Amino acid sequence: MTWCLLAEFVAPTTKDFVWPCWGGGFRILGFSFCLNFIIFLVLLSFAAFLLLFYLAFRQPKIVPSGLQNVMEVGILFVRDNIARPMIGPEGDRFMPLLSTLFFFIFLGNILEVIPGVNFSANSRIAFPLILAMVSWVTFNVVGIKQHGFIGYLKHVMLPPGAPLWLYPLLVPIEFITQIVIRPITLSVRLAANLLAGHFLLAVFFLGTIALLQSGILAIVGVFAFALSVVLVGFEIFVSILQAFIFAILTASYIGGALAEEH
Amino acid sequence: MLRLVAEVTGNLDALKTVGRGLVIGLAAIGPGVGLGILIGKSVEAMARQPEYAGQVRATMFIGIGLIEALALFGIAFSFII
């Protein structure tokens, strides 16, 4: 990381995503545990999440105002656009999970565009992977509870209406797409979006600085700066969209696991 | 073919850089077409049946998420190369 104004353009690399430990950590079974910038960001978004909900719903009023109003709009959005359309009338049972996923991912993502932080912990694959595992365990457990273990496997692997001779082909494909691929795509989608967003912003802002200092090309730098500001807005949109997509896909997987045979 | 190009350029790192660019560019073609069709059709559906706009939009975002992942796999793999 170089904080000074660069005379020449230095392209961002994947090394920008590796942060050193703050102080010593400890090692357990070959894994090293320590506090670094990424863990700090996760704790920061966790603290922001707790604080936001505590302040909003500390003394809930019948007629909401201020922060409570804003948070209620957010939660109603999750209920009316994610939980109920995707899961159905049983969706309210899963509201705690879905709204937590939505707000936690959103708060983690938005750190990408907050000045001075400019990095989202979700652009490392580990945290989206953990969130995806939460979603994976939830929809499998819900499905097994609903149909029983054998019934759930049948529900997943034997789609009704397919001809009998297709089953040898269909069973492995359905198993892989529904059980194996889902957590991978959930996590890679979130991580790759934020990784690409970080690269995009870094390239544009570093490029702006380099162009502004390069004589005649400074006029291009002005346009590059204008586009960089637009891209910050785009990244805010992407962070909301990714939180929404993560929550809505989790809801649709849960809805699929709960659905009765047709 | 690749060996020939490597011998001509004499530099495998240069080939890797070309490969990275190609992966990102090629991975963006299919999802670009897909997103165009998906969003265009969704707008058409919303214009025809405004009362189902919310439902169409929710389904559209699921589709966007699924399609977009393909392009992003390309970006993620370009760093692994």
Per-residue confidence (pLDDT) for residue A214, from 0 to 100: 78
pLDDT in tens, B31-81: 999 999 999 999 999 999 999 888 888 888 888 888 887 888 888 788 777
pLDDT of residue A1: 42
Q: Would you say residue A115 lies in a domain?
A: yes
pLDDT along chain A (262 residues), means of 10: 56 80 77 84 93 88 84 91 86 92 94 89 90 94 91 84 82 87 89 89 87 82 90 91 91 88 57
Give dist(CA A131, CA A194) in Å, integer. Answer: 15
Q: Closest CB to A192: pick one of B58, B64, B75.
A: B75
Q: Which residues in chain A are contacts of B65 at CB distance < 8 A?
A: 189, 245, 248-249
Contact between chains at B54 and A252 (C-beta distance less than 8 A): no
- Tell me which residue in B58, B61, B73 faces A188 most closely, judged by beta carbons: B73
Q: Does B58 touch chain A (CB under 8 A)?
A: yes
CA dihedral A106→A112→A114→A115, nearest 10 degrees, is 180
Q: What is the pLDDT of residue A3?
A: 46
Within-domain flag for A29: no
The reported pLDDT for the residue numbered A107 is: 93
A85 to B54: CB separation less than 8 angstroms, yes or no: yes
- Please check whether residue A75 is in contact with residue A96, taking contact to mean a CB–CB distance below 8 angstroms: no
Cβ within 8 Å, pair A195-B76: yes
Q: For B65, name the nearest residue in chain A, comparing CA atoms only.
A: A245
Longest dimension (CA), chain B: 63
**Domain interval for residue A210:** 36-258
User: Which tokens sit at A57?
Assistant: 């719903």
CA neighbor of A67 nearest in space, from A75, A57, A77:
A57
Segment 83-112 of chain A within 8 Å of chain B by CB = 85-86
Q: How far is CA B63 from CA A26, B26, B42, in A?
A: 44, 20, 10
**Looking at the domain assignment, is residue A24 inside a domain?**
no
Higher pLDDT, A178 or B3: A178
The CATH class of B2-80 is: mainly alpha
* Non-local CB neighbours of B23 within 8 Å, separated by 6+ positions: B74, B77, B78, B81
The reply to whether B61 touches chain A by the CB within 8 Å rule is yes
Q: Please name the member of A188, A196, A245 whose beta carbon is closest to the beta carbon of B61.
A: A245
pLDDT band at B10 (very low <50, low <70, confident <90, very high): low
Check CB contact under 8 Å for B76 and A249. no
Q: How far is A191 from chain B (nearest CA, A)?
A: 9
Question: What DSSP assignment string belongs to A128-140?
Answer: HHHHHHHHHHHHH
Q: Alpha carbon A24 to chain centroid distance? A: 30
> Structurally, how many domains does chain A consist of?
1
What is the complex's ipTM, to 2 decimals?
0.70
- Residue in B with minimal Cα distance to A246: B65
The answer as to whether A9 is a domain residue is: no
Contact across the interface for B62 and A245, Cβ inside 8 Å: yes
- Structure tokens belonging to residue A55: 């302040």
The answer to the question of residue A100 being in a domain is: yes
Whether A204 is in a domain gets the answer: yes
The conformational region for residue A116 under phi > 0 = left, psi -120 to 50 = alpha, else beta, is left
Has residue A136 been placed in a domain? Answer: yes
Contact predicate B24/B74, CB 8 Å: yes
